[in-house]
């Protein structure tokens, strides 16, 4: 049952990303890929829920939490990116420059890589969905609780940043409200915690340890590739010394303390 689920989910995500690439090509805004990367997890969760043959209660819990996270993040990105469809985000502008003279061709490959990353990161969900052991273990209860709290934390971080940006007086300023007063990236912190929570949940299933690749991958991307490095480079370009001061006084990641 595992292989058919993998193939069906990848096909669904791939088709979604082909359609999104066509749209992105027409409006010349590759940032829309972020929206549907998030929504693809809803598709995966629904397919897993329908096709999985594991213990129903376990499948219900993990798929419901996955859908809650996916829809929350997807709707947030839809609002954020949708508010400036005619203006591509700085990260993608930079990629468009680096990938000239044929950026759209490379964006097609990039979009398909995003679909593949959806499946790769969903590995824990596939493992959990085929676990036929009845009853939920303590590890699964802890993982589910942590996942729920992490979804709320990521949502709070995004909401605080959105409220800050809504105020015209804050244009060109650095958000230092709420969790952003203690961490430059509280949203990334809780995003990593989401995948650590999924790992904990999956450890109760046979071969669940394989799910360790997910937080390791997300952590690498956040710290070394598309997360913190690209975000801070763009902030330094757009906010200059204001962001340099923010870097000096605020923790890069963990939102529990304020540097002096």
Q: How far apart are CA 55 and CA 136, in angstroms?
A: 9
pLDDT for 32 = 95
Q: How far apart are CA 132 and CA 134, in angstroms?
A: 6
pLDDT tens-digit series, residues 58-102: 999 999 999 999 999 999 999 989 888 888 887 788 888 899 888
Q: How far apart are CA 178 and CA 148, in angstroms?
A: 20
Cβ partners under 8 Å of residue 3, min gap 6: none
Please state the pTM of the whole predicted model. Answer: 0.88
**Nearest residue to 205 (alpha-carbon basis) of 132, 145, 105:** 132
Q: At residue 241, what are phi and psi to the nearest 5 degrees? A: -65, -30
Segment 197-207 mean pLDDT: 96
Q: How far apart are CA 106 and CA 96, in angstroms?
A: 9
pLDDT for 257 = 54
Using CB atoms within 10 Å of the CB of residue 35, give its burial: 0 to 12 exposed, 13 to 18 middle, 19+ buried.
buried
pLDDT tens-digit series, residues 155-172: 999 999 999 888 888 887
């Amino acid at each position: 049952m595992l292989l058919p689920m993998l193939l069906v989910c990848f096909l669904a995500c791939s088709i979604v990303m082909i359609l999104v690439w066509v749209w992105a090509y027409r409006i010349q805004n590759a940032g829309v890929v972020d929206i549907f990367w998030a929504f693809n997890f809803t598709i995966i969760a629904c397919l897993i829920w329908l096709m999985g043959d594991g213990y129903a209660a376990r499948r219900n819990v993990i798929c419901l939490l996955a859908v809650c996270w996916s829809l929350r993040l997807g709707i947030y990105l839809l609002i954020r990116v949708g508010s400036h469809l005619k203006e591509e985000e700085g990260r993608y502008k930079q990629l468009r420059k680096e990938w000239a003279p044929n950026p759209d061709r490379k964006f097609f490959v990039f979009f398909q890589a995003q679909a593949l990353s959806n499946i790769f990161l969903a590995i824990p969900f596939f493992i959990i969905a085929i676990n036929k052991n009845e009853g939920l273990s303590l590890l699964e209860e802890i993982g589910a609780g942590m996942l729920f709290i992490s979804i709320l934390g990521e949502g709070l971080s995004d909401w605080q940043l959105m409220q800050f940006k809504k105020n015209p007086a804050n244009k060109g300023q650095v958000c230092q409200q709420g969790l952003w007063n203690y961490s430059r990236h509280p949203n990334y912190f809780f995003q990593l915690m989401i995948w650590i929570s999924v790992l904990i949940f999956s450890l109760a299933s046979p071969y669940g340890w394989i799910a360790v690749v997910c937080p390791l991958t997300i952590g690498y991307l956040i710290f070394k590739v598309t997360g913190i490095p690209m975000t801070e480079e763009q902030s330094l370009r757009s906010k200059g010394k204001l962001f340099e001061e923010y870097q000096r006084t605020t923790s890069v990641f963990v939102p529990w303390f304020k540097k002096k």
